[in-house]
Structure 1
Amino acid sequence: MREEFLAELVFPGVSRSVSTARHCVGHVLTMAGHLDVSGAQLVVSELVGNAVVHTISGLPGGLVAVDITAIGDDLARIDVIDGGSATVPRMREPTETDPRGRGLRIVDEMAVRWGVRGDACGGTAVWAEVFTVQSAPACAADLSVCNVAS
C-alpha cells in the first residue's frame, strides 16, 4: 500500500490546541482527497488532549507535533508526538463517575490499529490508523480483508 506523508503540524501544548489540531488535520486530509475525516479528527482530538494533559508538552513552552500520512486513498495515520512523561500511555478502566480516562478507549474504537513508540528526542509518539471513507469496512480485527499492511 502506498504511503504519502502529507504534513507535520506543531502546536503549543495548551488546551485550545486540541480544536485547532482537529480542524487542521481535517483540512489537510480533505485537501488530499479523503472523503470522511471525522474519525481522524476525533482521534487527533483525543491524542492531542492526552499529550497536553499527561506529558511535559503541557508545561509552559511545551509543544505537540502531529504528523499526517495518507495510506492509500482510504486510510490515514495520525502520529501525535509529545515531549515525554514518566508513564507510558495505556488504556484505563474508568468508573462511570471518573471525569477522564476514556481517550485511548475512543482511539481504540475508531482506529484500525494504534500504538505507542518513543521518539529520538525522548518524547512519545502515539499513532493511530483511521479509515477516511464514508463506508469503511468493518475489518479492524482482520486487516487482510481490507488489504492493509500490518
Structure 2
Amino acid sequence: MRKRLLAEMVVPGVDWAVPVVRHCVGRTLTAAGHQNVEIAQLVVSELVSNAFLHSRSARPGGVIVVELTEISDKLARVEVMDEGAGTIPHPRMTTDNACHGRGLWLVQQTAARWGVYRDTLGGNVVWAECATTDDAIAATPIRAPRGCSQSSQ
C-alpha cells in the first residue's frame, strides 16, 4: 500500500473555511488523477463543519488542520484535526425533522472507513478513507445506520 501526502491545510476555525477546504480537496485529488472526488469533498465538508461547530478551534485564533493523503489510485484519506472539545465525536441520534446532527452519520454512510482519536495535545482527529473511482465507490458497502433514525420516504 502506498501512502503519499497530497496536501496539508491549516485554516482558521471559521465557517468560510468549509467551502475553501472542500474546493482545495477536490482540486488536489483531481490534479493527482482521481476520477471521482465528490465523496471526499462531502466528507471533508462535514468534518471541517463539525470541527468549527463543536471544538475549541472556533475560538478566536483557533485553527483546523486538514491532511489529504493518497492511499492508492482509488482511495484517499482525509484527516481533520481540531483543538479539542469536551467529548469525542460520534454519530448522533436524530429525529426525522431535525435540522442538524447528521454529519458523522453521512461520513459513516459514504466513507469506506472512518474513525476518531485524540492527538497528544488533546485535540480530536477524525479521519475517513474515501473511494475515488466509480468501481471503488460501487464496492464500498452501504452501512445500516447505527443510532440514527431514517426517514421512510
TM-score (norm 2): 0.88
Query: Could you tell me which residue of structure 2 aligns to residue 54 of structure 1?
Result: 54
Opposite residue 139 of structure 2, the aligned amino acid is: A
Percent of aligned pairs sharing the same letter: 50
Quote the offset at 1:52 in angstroms. 0.1
User: How far off is 1:49 after superposition?
Assistant: 0.2
In structure 2, runs of 5+ residues without a counterpart are 143-153
Corresponding residue number in structure 1 for 2:12: 12
In structure 2, the residue matched to 1:98 is 98
Cα distance in 1 between the residues matched to 2:83 and 2:26: 24
- Letter paired with 1:78: V
Report SS of the residue matched to 1:135. Answer: helix
Q: Compared with structure 1, are the counterparts of its residues 120 and 101 closer, same or farther at alpha carbon in structure 2 (3 Å cutoff)? A: same
C-alpha deviations, 1:52-84, integer Å up to 9, x for none?
000000111110010000011000000000000
Deviation at 1:37, TM superposition (A): 0.5
- Deviating more after overlay: 131-140 vs 60-69: 131-140
1:70 and 2:70 matched? yes
Q: What are the superposed Cα offsets for residues 108-149 of structure 1, whole Å, 9 maximum, x if unpaired?
A: 1110010001112211100000000133232448xxxxxxxx
- Where does structure 1 lack aligned partners over 5 or more consecutive residues? 142-150
Q: For the structure 1 residues 139 and 41, does the alpha-carbon distance in structure 2 shift closer, same or farther, using more than 3 Å as the test?
A: closer
Question: Matched residues in 2 for 1:97 and 1:58: separation?
Answer: 27
- Let me know the Cα RMSD of the aligned residues: 1.2
Whether the 8 Å CA contact 2:131–2:140 is kept in 1: the answer is no
Query: What is the TM-score normalised by the length of structure 1?
Result: 0.90
Aligned mates of 2:4, 2:73 — CA distance in 1:
10
8 Å CA contact 1:113, 1:140 repeated in 2: no
Could you say what secondary structure the match of 1:5 adopts? strand
1:14-72 Cα distance to aligned partner (Å, 9 max, x none): 01110001001111111111111000000000000000000000111110010000011
Task: Give the secondary structure class of the aligned counterpart of 2:17.
Answer: helix
Amino acid at match of 1:126: V
Q: Number of residues paired by the alignment? A: 141
